[in-house]
Structures are given as structure tokens and as C-alpha cells.
């Protein structure tokens, strides 16, 4: 096994090095807008930094992790060499070239549009072309995942697709479809304006197209983390998965409900009517179902382990869990952050409650808890689990990993809790500095200092993560082949609908068309909607 070893390593290393650079930028942003530092001399530097931080964290890191982890899952679970290794390398290089293009343009100050692409501010075409290359590179991965699964199914007719692979391919299809929104925004609206072919743009339509990608992309980031929950965690703590079927249902539901929800980001926008806002709010509520089911199944899997280790009573099993196991610790931290972040998410999606916190620092707090907290901590675990396979190394130091995870958890809580608080007080997001001499803002200064301190813990944790990976020592004896968790009741017959993704993909596309078709058509036909563009970096 492992023809793709170098491929996976390349994806992981690029992802994590970019991640480390981006986290330094993030901490710099918190520092310069805290009272610890004078106002930034040129606010544009701040927005350049936010653009780079968001572009790496939102597009480069999760895409590369999902791709690399996906290739590893394919070879491990299907137990055969990856089909299309050369294509996979081509996809990798496309992502690299695209990232470098976007990074160079951002560093030069030609693309300070943040990472959310909200025209009429338009960056240099090289920035958008870079993003397009990243997406096209990842589409090669999508195709390869589909091709590999198909080939395996043909050779193993009637067998159940391994759960990790099922989730992996569901994530790939989800990404393929959700990226269509931003891709069409860039290709149809932004690039023509950026290249100078047109000097006006429909800003409202662009926002709606971007919202197609904007929320579902979070579930694409989430899928690798859920694969770790379902197929690595139970075995890592010495147990089995409580229910294989529930894992399949969760992945399938993510596929269906992730897409038709993006308009909840536009609750305060004038270009979408209240009807579709309500429909998307309702759909966003539905997408919490797979997470609720997952929390139940994963906690139940842990309970089985706790009871086997002698725990009794309603809570006694919690005490007897293997707490010194890094995976136990990581999933616990992830669930706590998912709990706070998810509660915040229910507020964001609520048709009415959203108005209190829309576009405030609360939102930043929410998505850092969910993504940088619950999801990235699972990316760490995916890397730690795969590393001995990839490097043929001895087991990594559990002590260092525990310290790294704990720093990450504490840092993330210290970073985001003050953000939630000031968000409720109406602090706007995306500010290069705050005027703390204003009596209304003065009391908030302390919260920014706290977040800066939390960010520092995160920087230390990220450095420790890189250190653990970089110092893994290769050993001479080959490492035993990796295997994913088995279910407690593995003999359950998997229904055909949960052994393939066709039905769910069809539902995903149909629901998207129903939920986006009319708003998009209406906006495209709205008079006066095209407004002059504002090029960035031409002062």
C-alpha cells in the first residue's frame, strides 16, 4: 500500500506551512488593533493581511487537507493503488500555482478584497485566476475520487463501500457542486470586469452567487473532521463505532442540506425577498440534524468504551474513558467548541435573531469556533494519525500532542469568547483599528487584548504542531497497515441508498435549483442593478 504516500505528504505539508504563515498574519491583525499597539499606519496593510489569512484558511488549507486525506483514505480503504496518480499530481500543482498567483497579487496590494468576493470592489485578475486554478485543481481530485470508487465497486460488486470512503466521496461531490456558485460568480461577473471588458457589475447578484458557495463550503471543510469522528476516533480509544448506518446518514444529509442555505448570510441584504430568506432559514435549521446525530453516535461510541473499561452509572463511564489518549482529548475539545459554535450558529440562522449580530464580531467568533476550533483540531488529528503511515515513523509523542491540542483549545476559547461578547454589543467586524478614545468603545479595549493573547496561544500551538510533524523519525521496521474503526454491529445490511450517492446528489441539485433558481433569475432581470466597479490597488 501507499503509492500515493508522497502525494499525500506534499498536500499536507503545503497545507500546514501555509496555515502557519496565515496564523501569524491573524495574530498580527489582533495585535495591531488591540490597545497594545498604536493605530496601524496604513490600514490597507491590515486588509491585505485579512485577505491573505482568509484566502489561505478558507480555500487553501481545507482544500489541500481534504484532497490529501482523500487520497490516503482511497488507498487505505479500497486496498488498491490510486487510479490517476499523475492526474492527482497535476491537480496538486494547479493548486500550488494558483495559490502562489493569489499570494503574490495579495502581497503586492492588488487584491485587498478580503476573501468573500463582494463586488463592486474588484481585485487584479491574477488574484481571481489564482483562485480559479485552486478550484480547478480540486475538481481533478473530485473526479479521481469518483473514478476510484466506481472502479472498486465494479471489482467488488455487492460489497459495502467503507464508511470513510463513503464520507470522502460525499465531501468531494459536495465541494464540486458548491464551488459552482463562486466559480460562476468569478467567471461570469467578476473576471470580465477585472479584465476591463465591462465597467459595471451586478453587485446584488454577485452576492447571491457567492452565498451559494459561502455556507456549503463550511460543510466541505467539515467532512474530513467527521470522517475522523466516525472512522478513526472509536478505534483510537480502543472501541468500535456505535452505528455505521448513522455515519452514512450524516454524510448523505450533509450532501442534501448543505446547499440550499446560503441566503441566510444575506438576511440583511436588500436584493433578496423575505420569502426566500425564510426558506433558507428553515433549510439551515435542517442542516443541524446530521451534527446532532453525529454527536449522539460518537458519544455513544465513547460510552461503550467507558463501560468496557469498568465505568458504571449514568456518568461513571465518563471518568473511565482513556483521557490520556490524544484522540479522546481532541474529540472532547472539538465537541465543546462545536457546542458553543453550533449554538451561535442556530442564532445566526434564526430569521429574527440574526439581526442583532449580523456582520458583527460575533460572526467571526462563531466561524472561528466551528472551523478553526472544532474542524482544524480534527485536521491535526488526521495528520497525526496518518503520519506514521506516511513517514514510516515511530508513534509520535503523545505528551507533546496533548500539550498542542490543549493550547489550541484554550487559545481558541480565549480568542473567540470576547468576540462573541463585543459582537452582541454591536462591534463591527473587519476593522483595521478601533478608536478606543471614544467613550463608547473604551470598555471594549480589554476584550481585544484578551483575543490577542488567545491568538498568541494559537501561534504557539501551531508551531508545536509543525514541530511534532517535522521531527517524526523514520524507523527501519515497516509500520503496520492502517485500518479504520469497525462498527459494533458490522453485519448490518447496508441499504442500497446508503451504499451509493446518486439519490443524494440528485436531491442536492434539485434543492439548490429550487432554492436559488428564482432569486438568481429575478436578480439577473432587475433593472438598475449593474453598478460601476471599484478597482483595487490603483491609488
Interface with other proteins in residues 47-66 (CB under 8 A): 47, 50
Please tell me whether residue 526 binds other proteins under the rule CB under 8 A: yes
Contact with other proteins (CB under 8 A) among 96, 104, 114, 147 = 114
d(CA 170, CA 148): 13
Give counts: helices (H), strands (E), the chain.
21, 4
**Per-residue binding letters, 63-102, with other proteins (x by CB under 8 A):** ----------------------------------------
Interaction between residue 486 and other proteins (CB under 8 A): no
Tell me whether residue 425 or residue 459 sits nearer to other proteins (CB atom).
425
| Interface segment toward other proteins; rule CB under 8 A; list 68-76, 173-181, 226-234, 352-360 | 352-360
Q: Is 436 in the site for other proteins (CB under 8 A)?
A: no
Pairing, β 200-202 against β 121-122: unpaired
112 contacts other proteins (rule: CB under 8 A): yes
Active site residue 442: no
Q: Are 88 and 513 in contact (CB under 8 A)?
A: no
> CA–CA separation, 262 vs 447, rounded Å?
30
- Give the other-Cβ count within 10 Å of 511's Cβ: 18
Annotation says 230 is catalytic: no
Q: Does 257 bind other proteins (CB under 8 A)?
A: no
Choices 88-96, 138-146, 163-171, 348-356 (CB under 8 A): range interacting with other proteins:
348-356
124 scored as a contact of other proteins (CB under 8 A): no
Which among 331, 386, 324 has a CA at the least distance from the CA of 164? 386
43 binds other proteins (CB under 8 A): yes
Which one of 5, 351, 429, 436 is the catalytic residue?
A: 429
| Residue 181 is a binding residue for other proteins (CB under 8 A) | no
CA distance readout (Å), 216 to 63, 180, 474 = 13, 11, 39
Half-sphere exposure of 319 (CA within 13 A, CB side): 7
Distance CA 251, CA 183 (A): 24
420 is catalytic: no
Which lies closer to other proteins via its Cβ, residue 77 or residue 231? 231
Terminal-residue alpha carbon distance, the chain: 55
Q: Taking Cα atoms as reference points, which of 504, 354, 362 lies closest to residue 420? A: 362
Other beta carbons less than 10 A from residue 145's beta carbon = 27
Q: Does 199 participate in binding other proteins (rule CB under 8 A)?
A: no
Q: Which of 191, 286, 464, 466 binds other proteins (CB under 8 A)?
A: 286
Q: How many CA atoms lie within 13 A of 501 on its CB side?
A: 28
- Which residues, 6+ apart, have CB-to-CB distance to 440 below 8 Å? none
Cis peptide bond upstream of 7, omega within 30: no
Among 74, 105, 202, 211, binds other proteins (CB under 8 A): 202
Q: Is 215 a catalytic residue?
A: yes
Site string for other proteins, 491-510 (x = CB under 8 A): xx------------------
Residue 337 CB, nearest approach to other proteins (Å): 20
Among 15-23, 129-137, 277-285, 410-418, the segment contacting other proteins (CB under 8 A): 277-285
Q: Among all residues, which ones are annotated catalytic?
A: 215, 219, 366-368, 429-430
Amino acid at each position: 500500500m501507499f503509492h500515493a504516500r508522497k502525494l499525500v505528504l506534499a498536500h499536507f505539508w503545503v497545507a500546514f506551512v501555509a496555515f502557519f504563515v496565515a496564523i501569524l498574519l491573524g495574530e498580527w491583525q489582533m495585535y495591531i488593533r488591540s490597545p497594545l499597539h498604536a493605530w496601524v499606519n496604513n490600514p490597507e496593510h491590515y486588509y491585505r493581511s485579512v485577505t491573505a489569512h482568509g484566502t489561505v484558511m478558507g480555500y487553501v488549507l481545507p482544500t489541500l487537507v481534504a484532497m490529501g486525506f482523500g487520497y490516503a483514505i482511497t488507498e487505505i480503504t479500497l486496498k488498491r493503488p490510486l487510479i490517476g496518480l499523475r492526474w492527482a499530481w497535476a491537480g496538486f500543482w494547479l493548486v500550488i500555482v494558483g495559490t502562489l498567483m493569489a499570494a503574490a497579487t495579495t502581497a503586492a496590494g492588488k487584491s485587498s478584497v478580503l476573501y468573500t468576493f463582494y463586488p463592486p470592489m474588484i481585485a487584479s485578475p491574477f488574484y481571481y485566476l489564482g483562485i480559479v486554478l485552486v478550484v480547478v485543481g480540486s475538481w481533478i481530485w473530485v473526479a479521481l475520487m469518483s473514478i476510484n470508487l466506481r472502479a472498486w465497486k465494479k471489482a467488488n460488486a455487492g460489497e459495502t463501500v467503507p464508511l470513510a470512503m463513503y464520507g470522502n466521496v460525499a465531501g468531494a461531490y459536495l465541494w464540486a457542486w458548491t464551488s459552482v456558485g463562486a466559480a460562476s460568480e468569478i467567471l461570469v461577473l467578476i473576471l470580465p470586469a477585472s479584465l476591463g471588458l465591462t465597467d459595471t457589475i451586478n453587485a446584488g447578484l454577485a452576492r447571491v452567487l457567492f452565498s451559494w458557495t459561502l455556507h456549503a463550503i463550511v460543510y466541505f471543510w467539515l467532512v474530513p473532521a467527521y470522517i475522523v469522528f466516525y472512522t478513526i476516533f472509536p478505534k483510537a480509544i480502543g472501541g468500535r463505532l456505535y452505528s455505521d448506518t448513522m455515519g452514512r446518514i450524516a454524510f448523505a444529509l450533509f450532501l442534501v442540506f448543505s446547499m440550499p442555505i446560503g441566503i441566510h448570510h444575506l438576511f440583511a441584504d436588500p436584493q433578496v425577498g423575505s420569502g426566500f430568506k425564510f426558506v433558507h432559514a428553515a433549510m439551515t435549521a435542517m442542516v443541524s440534524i446530521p451534527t446532532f446525530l453525529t454527536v449522539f453516535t460518537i458519544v455513544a461510541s465513547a460510552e461503550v468504551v467507558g463501560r468496557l473499561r469498568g465505568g458504571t452509572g449514568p456518568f461513571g463511564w465518563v471518568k473511565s474513558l482513556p483521557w490520556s489518549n490524544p484522540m479522546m482529548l481532541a474529540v472532547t475539545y472539538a465537541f465543546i467548541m462545536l457546542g458553543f459554535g453550533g449554538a451561535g450558529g442556530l442564532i445566526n440562522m434564526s430569521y429574527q435573531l440574526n439581526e442583532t449580530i449580523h456582520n458583527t464580531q460575533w460572526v467571526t467568533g462563531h466561524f472561528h469556533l466551528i472551523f478553526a476550533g472544532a474542524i482544524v483540531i480534527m485536521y491535526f488529528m488526521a495528520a497525526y494519525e496518518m503520519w506514521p503511515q506516511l513517514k514510516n515513523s515511530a508513534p509520535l509523542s503523545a505528551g507533546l500532542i496533548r500539550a498542542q491540542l490543549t493550547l489550541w483549545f484554550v487559545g481558541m476559547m480565549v480568542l473567540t469568547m470576547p468576540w462573541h461578547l463585543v459582537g452582541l454589543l454591536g462591534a463591527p467586524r473587519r476593522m483595521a483599528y478601533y478608536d478606543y478614545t471614544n467613550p463608547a468603545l473604551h470598555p471594549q479595549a480589554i476584550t481585544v487584548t484578551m483575543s490577542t493573547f488567545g491568538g498568541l496561544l494559537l501561534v504557539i500551538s501551531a508551531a508545536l504542531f509543525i514541530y511534532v510533524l517535522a521531527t517524526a523519525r523514520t524507523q527501519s521496521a515497516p509500520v503496520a497497515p492502517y485500518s479504520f474503526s469497525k462498527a459494533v454491529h458490522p453485519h448490518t445490511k447496508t441499504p442500497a441508498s446508503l451504499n451509493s450517492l446518486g439519490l443524494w446528489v440528485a436531491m442536492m441539485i434539485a434543492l439548490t435549483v429550487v432554492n436559488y433558481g428564482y432569486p438568481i433569475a429575478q436578480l439577473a432581470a432587475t433593472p438598475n442593478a449593474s453598478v460601476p466597479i471599484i478597482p483595487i490597488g490603483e491609488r
